[in-house]
Structure 1
Amino acid sequence: MVRFALTVVRHGETRYNKEKILQGQGVDEPLSATGFRQADAAGIYLSNVKFTHVFSSDLLRAKQTACTIIGKNKFCKDIVIQYDPRLRERKYGIAEGRPLSDLKAMAKAAGEQCPSFTPSGGETLDEVRARAKDFFEFLCLLLVEEEHQKGQAVLDMTGNGLETFEGKPVFPLRNHCSGLELNSDTDRAAKVLNANILVVSHGAYMRNWFGYFVLDLKCTLPSTLKKSQLSSVSPNTGVSHFIINLENGDLIKPEINCICLNQDDHLADVNTGNV
C-alpha cells in the first residue's frame, strides 16, 4: 500500500486576473501585490505541514506562489521545487491576452458554451485533462518507485508534520475544511503516509484535473460539497486536499478521497479586491 497526501493550490492573483484578461500559457504575468499577500496567507496556512515533494507550473505566477508558500514553511525552506510544464494553465491560443468577454463572444459566435469552447491555437478540455492525467500517473509511479527503493519504510504522521506540533493539530484543513470528519477506518489509515505533496498550478487546469479525479477515478467528495463548487474555478490561492491510496501499488485504480476543494478560509483577512 502506498498512501500519500496531495495538496493543490492555485497561484495568487495577477493584474490580468483582476482585470479578467486571459493569460493561458502565452502571457507570463507576475503576481500583483494582492497576489503576494494571498501567497503569504496560504504559506502561513500551510506553514506546519512538512511536504516531502513540491511541484509547480513553470509559469511565473505559479513559481512565485510556490516559492512564497515554501518560504513560510517551518520545515521545508530548503526543499527543491520541481517545475513541470505539465502543470501549466490551459492554452487559449488567439484569446490569450484578451478580455474574457472576447472568449465568451467567440464561443457564442461558434454556437458553443464558453468553458468547452476551444479558440484557434488553444487546447481542448480533453487535451488539458490528458496533461493532468499524465502528471498524476507520473506522481503515482514516482512514489511507488520511491517506496520500493526504501524497502517498505514509511513516514508516520508525527514524522512528516501532519499530526501534531507542540501538542496541537498542525494540518490546517483538519480544522477548516468542510466534510473533514473522517470515519474510524479512514482516520486510522491516514495515520501512515508515504509522502506529502504540494502542487501549485492554475484555475482552469485544476478544474479539469479535479474533473478527471471525480469522473474517471471516482474520487469521493465531502458530503457538504455542492455541484456548483465542483465546476467552479478555484479562487486565487484556493487550497484543495486529497488522500490517495494505491493498493498494492495499483496505478490504474487509485482510491482518492477529497478532503476539501478550493478552500479559501486563509484569505479572510486579505484584501483580495476583484479576484
Structure 2
Amino acid sequence: MARFALTVVRHGETRYNKDKILQGQGIDEPLSVTGFRQADAAGMFLSNMKFTHVFSSDLLRAKQTAAAITGKNKFCKDILIKYDARLRERKYGVAEGKPLSDLKAMAKAARQQCPSFTPSGGETLDEVRARAKDFFEFLCQLTLEESQKEVVLDTAGNGLETLEEKSVFPWTNHYNGPEFNSDNDKATKMLDVNILVVSHGAYMRNWIHYFVSELECTLPTTLTKSQLSSVSPNTGVSHFIIKLGNGNIKPEISCVCLNQDAHLVNVDSGNV
C-alpha cells in the first residue's frame, strides 16, 4: 500500500481579494504587500515539512505564493515548482473583474444560488471538479510510480530515506487519528511522497467537496458544516493523508486539518 501526504495552500491576498472583486482566470493579479506577508508566514509554518514535490497553479498570485513558501523551507532549496493549469481558479467568464456583489445579483436574476451559478463564459462546478479529479488522479499515479521506484532501489541495496510524518508535520498536536498515535506500528508513520499544492479558493472548495462526496474523506470531528463549505482564507492550509490500495480500490483519505490559519495571527491581512 502506498501512502502520501497532501498539503494544499490557497494563495496570498491580492488587492482584488481585499476589494471583493472576482479574478478567476482572466485577471492575473500579483500579491499585495499583505499577500507576500501571508505567504512568508505560511512558509515559516511549513518550514520543516520535507516536501518531495511542489505543484502550483500557473496564475501569478499562486506562483508567487509557492515561491515564498519554498523559499522559507529548509528542504526545498533545490526543488522544482511545477506549474499546472489544472490548478487554476474557477473561470467566472463575464463576471471576472467585477465585484462579487455583481455575481450575486446575476445569480439572483437567474433564480439560482450564487455558489452554483455559472455566469456566461464561466465554468460550471462540475467542470471545476473534473479538473480537480484529474489532477488528484495524477498525484495518485505519481505516488504509485515513486513507491515502485523505492521498491526497486531497496531490492538493489540502495535504500532510500523514508519520510516520517510525526517528525515533520507542524499540526500533530491538533490531530488524534491513528496515523499519529500508533507508536507501536512505525510503518503507519511512513510516507512514499509528500506533496505541496498551491491553488485558489473556489477551486479548493470544489476539490474538497469531491474528496468528501465521492471519496468519503474522513474529517476532523471538530469540523462544522459551515467550515466545510467555506472558502479558505488567503494562505489557509489544508492537509490530508492518502492511502492507495491495489487495482481499482478507492483511495482512503483522512483530513488532518482544513483551512488552518494559525500562522496568520500576527499578520494584518485585511482580508474578509
The two structures share one fold, judged by TM-score above 0.5: yes
Per the alignment, residue 259 of structure 1 pairs with 256
Q: Name the SS of the counterpart of 2:163 in structure 1.
A: coil
| Cα separation, 2, equivalents of 1:57 and 1:33 | 20
Cα deviation code 1:34-63 (max 9, x no counterpart): 000000000000000110000000000000
Does 2:76 align with 1:82? Answer: no
> Match of 1:266, as an amino acid?
H
1:112 aligns with 2:107: no
1:274 to partner: Cα distance? 2.9
Give the structure 2 partner of residue 174 of structure 1: 172
Q: Matches of residues 65-144 of structure 1 in structure 2 within 5 Å?
A: 65-144=65-144
User: How many angstroms does 1:185 deviate by?
Assistant: 8.6
Unpaired runs of at least 5, structure 1? 165-169
Give the corresponding residue for 1:183. Answer: 178
TM-score normalised per structure 1: 0.92
Change beyond 3 A, Cα 1:214–1:130 = same
Shift of 1:267: 0.3
Q: Which residue of 2 aligns with 1:163?
A: 166
**Maintained 8 Å contact 1:87/1:201:** yes
Q: Which runs of 5+ in 2 are unaligned?
A: none
Q: C-alpha distance in 2, partners of 1:35/1:212?
A: 28
* Residues 1:7 and 1:190: Cα distance change in structure 2 (over 3 Å): farther
Q: After TM superposition, give the deviation of residue 252 of structure 1 in Å.
A: 4.8
In 2, the alpha carbon distance for the partners of 1:254 and 1:261 equals 19
Matching residue's letter, 2:163 = N
TM-superposition CA deviations, 1:116-154 (whole Å, max 9, x none): 000000000000000000000011011112222332668
Which of 262, 265, 269 is matched with 2:266 structurally?
A: 269
C-alpha distance in 2 between matches for 1:236 and 1:251:
35
8 Å contact 2:180–2:189 — kept in the other structure? no
Distance 1:121 1:19, change over 3 A: same
Distance 1:31 1:45 in 2: 19
Report whether the alignment pairs 1:48 with 2:17.
no
Q: Is the 8 Å Cα contact of residues 147 and 153 (structure 1) preserved in structure 2? A: no
Q: Which amino acid aligns with 1:206?
A: M
Aligned equivalents of 2:135, 2:172: Cα separation in 1: 26
In structure 2, the residue matched to 1:199 is 197
Provide the C-alpha distance between the structure 2 equivalents of 1:105 and 1:62, rounded to a whole number of angstroms.
28
Once residues 212 and 145 of structure 2 are traced to their aligned partners in structure 1, the CA distance between those partners, rounded to angstroms, is: 25
- Quick one: percent identity of the two aligned structures? 73
Query: What is the one-letter code of the residue matched to 1:160?
Result: L
Task: Judge conservation of contact 2:3–2:244 (CA < 8 Å) in 1.
Answer: yes
State how far apart, in whole Å, the 2-side matches of 1:257 and 1:67 are. 27
Q: State the alpha-carbon separation in 2 of the partners of residues 91 and 19 from structure 1.
A: 19
- Once the two structures are TM-superposed, the CA of residue 259 in structure 1 deviates from its matched residue by 0.5
- Secondary structure of the residue aligned to 1:105 is helix
Residue number among 242, 245, 261 corresponding to 2:243 in the alignment: 245
- Counterpart of 1:146 in structure 2 is 146
Deviation at 1:251, TM superposition (A): 5.4
Which deviations, in whole Å up to 9, do the C-alpha atoms of 1:6-26 show, x marking residues without a partner? 000000000000000000000
The structure-2 alpha-carbon separation of the partners of 1:192 and 1:152, relative to structure 1 and needing over 3 Å to count, comes to farther
Contact 2:164 2:191 in 1 (8 A): no
Q: State the Cα deviation string for residues 160-182 of structure 1 (Å, max 9, x = none).
A: 36433xxxxx411113x4xx112
Given that residues 50 and 162 in structure 1 are in contact (C-alpha distance below 8 angstroms), is that contact kept between their aligned partners in structure 2?
no
Q: How far apart in 1 are the matches of 2:188 and 2:34? A: 35
RMSD: 1.9
